[in-house]
Every structure is written in structure tokens, then in C-alpha cells.
Homo-oligomer: A and B are copies of this chain.
Amino acid sequence: MSTALPKRRSVCPVACTLDLIGDKWTLLVIRDLIVGKSTFKEITSSPERVATNILADRLKRLLAHGLIERRPAPDHGGRFTYHLTESGQRLEPVLAAITDWGLEHLEGTEVRVKPPAESNHPTETAR
């Protein structure tokens, strides 16, 4: 499965960023990491039910591009935990903007887990 991205489509920061995170799953993985999940299992347990092969692939990709890092799990055996790097964490505003748009324009959406940082909507009901 693809881990390396093939080639840049242009020099546009939007296009290049989408080459990294522009698919149906990557930002959900990052969302999970932002809200504090860190193991493979925790992420596969999210309600969207990402397939294990897809998750393994996305973690590889994100690792390869330095958006996440992995550490040996403290208590368990040869397990790992995954964490956003600095640059990965800086995607939080992207997630926040998407969250805001979804809450405002898509009926029936709601945030189940808040990100640890600040939110900025003054008069939002569902948050």
C-alpha cells in the first residue's frame, strides 16, 4: 500500500497539504490524536470504524512525514503509542475550522469529545 506520496501536483500550499492529509481518513486519525487517543486500538474503536489496514497505512504515512511520532508504550510489552509532533499539532486550526463548518451546516452533527485546547465559538449551542 502507498506510503510515499508520488509527486507534487503544484506548488500551491493547499494542493500540497491535501497530498498529505486530503483523504477520508487521515484527518480523523489526527482528530483522535488531538483528543488524546494514542493506541492503535483506541483509534480503531472510534465510531467511524477505520479498517486496520487503512489505519496502519495512515500511521506509516504520518510517521514518514513527521506529523506524528511513536514511543514504546510505558506499561505494555512491545507496543507503541502515537503522538502528534509539533507540526502535527499545528493542524488543530484546520480541524477546528472543519468542525465549526460541520456543526453549522450539517444537521445532526455534534462533538462528542472536546479538544483539550481552546474553542472559539461565542454562541454555539452544540459545543
Give residues in A with beta carbon < 8 Å to B.
Answer: 8-20, 22-24, 27-28, 31, 46-49, 87, 90-91, 93-106, 108-112
A105 to B24, CA, bound (A): 21
Given that A94-B98, A97-B94 are contacting pairs, would A18 and B27 also be in contact in the complex, using a CB cutoff of 8 Å?
yes
| Cβ contact of A101, chosen from B11, B90, B106, cutoff 8 A | B90
> A112 to chain B: which residues have CB within 8 Å?
11-12
State the oligomeric state as a number of copies: 2
Secondary structure of the A contact surface, majority rule:
helix
| Cβ contact of A102, chosen from B9, B13, B97, cutoff 8 A | B13
Given that A11-B109, A108-B11, A109-B12 are contacting pairs, would A24 and B17 also be in contact in the complex, using a CB cutoff of 8 Å?
no
A2 to B99, CA, bound (A): 24
Task: Give the Cβ gap from A19 to chain B, nearest Cβ, in Å.
Answer: 7
Contact B23 A109 (CB under 8 A): no
Contact A10 B108 (CB under 8 A): no
> A103 to chain B: which residues have CB within 8 Å?
13
A105 to B13, CA, bound (A): 9
